[in-house]
Amino acid sequence: QEEAQAIDQELFTHYQFSVDQLMELAGLSCATAIAKVGTGGGRGGQGPARPPASLCAPHQAYPPSSFTTSQPTVLVVCGPGNNGGDGLVCARHLKMFGYEPTVYYPKRPNKPLFEGLTTQCQKMDIPFLPEFPAEAALIDELYGLVVDAIFGFSFKGAVREPFGSILSTLERVTVPIASIDIPSG
């Protein structure tokens, strides 16, 4: 965690990256890792094998061809901070890579950066869920992959609702979960 924060700080100060630039790079990198790296594994018709929760390792990829449904559907669950912004960027790139992302974004910041990312997804016909599926089985039925973009490495404090309930449900899903930064739960 300290190392990741130090890298972020260096990128901001020494290299003069902006938050939106880093968000774009993170979201694109995660979408690329999901789509392109490795081959994914099978689970007897139940979708790709569930790897450990952190993303961006070569064995953790889910190309569209590895999904057992007719459409490679992805549920992107976004938190209220920069990790959620990474998730919105990831959803946008997944759409361009041939996936069918759906976003759940319950706590949207009233900041131009996040409003712009939301608008971009909406203009690309990426649906936003009004409510989180309460049953893990429903997520397993509708989606081949979940992207956890809820909390990043800098999250501190207690998990507040609705995120406690969301994380509880995600603990019970059987489809793979790819986490941006680190697993939220």
34 within domain boundaries: yes
Is 60 a residue whose pLDDT tops 70? no
171 within domain boundaries: yes
184 within domain boundaries: no
On the 0-12 / 13-18 / 19+ scale of CB atoms within 10 A, 145 is: buried
57 within domain boundaries: yes
185 within domain boundaries: no
C-alpha dihedral over 59, 62, 66, 71, to 10 degrees? 170
The H-assigned helical ranges of the chain are: 2-13, 19-36, 82-96, 112-123, 136-142, 163-170
Is 174 a residue whose pLDDT tops 80? yes
Going by the DSSP 8-state scheme, the letter that residue 66 receives in this structure is G
36 within domain boundaries: yes
Is 85 a residue whose pLDDT tops 50? yes
Any idea what the CATH number is for the domain that residue 37 is in?
A: 3.40.50.10260
> What's the number of domains the chain is made of?
1
Tell me the pTM. 0.81
Is 55 a residue whose pLDDT tops 50? no
Range of the domain at 45: 2-179
68 within domain boundaries: yes
Mean pLDDT of 20-44: 74
Spatial separation of the C-alpha atoms in residues 32 and 105, rounded to whole Å? 22
In this prediction, residue 59 carries a pLDDT of 39
53 within domain boundaries: yes
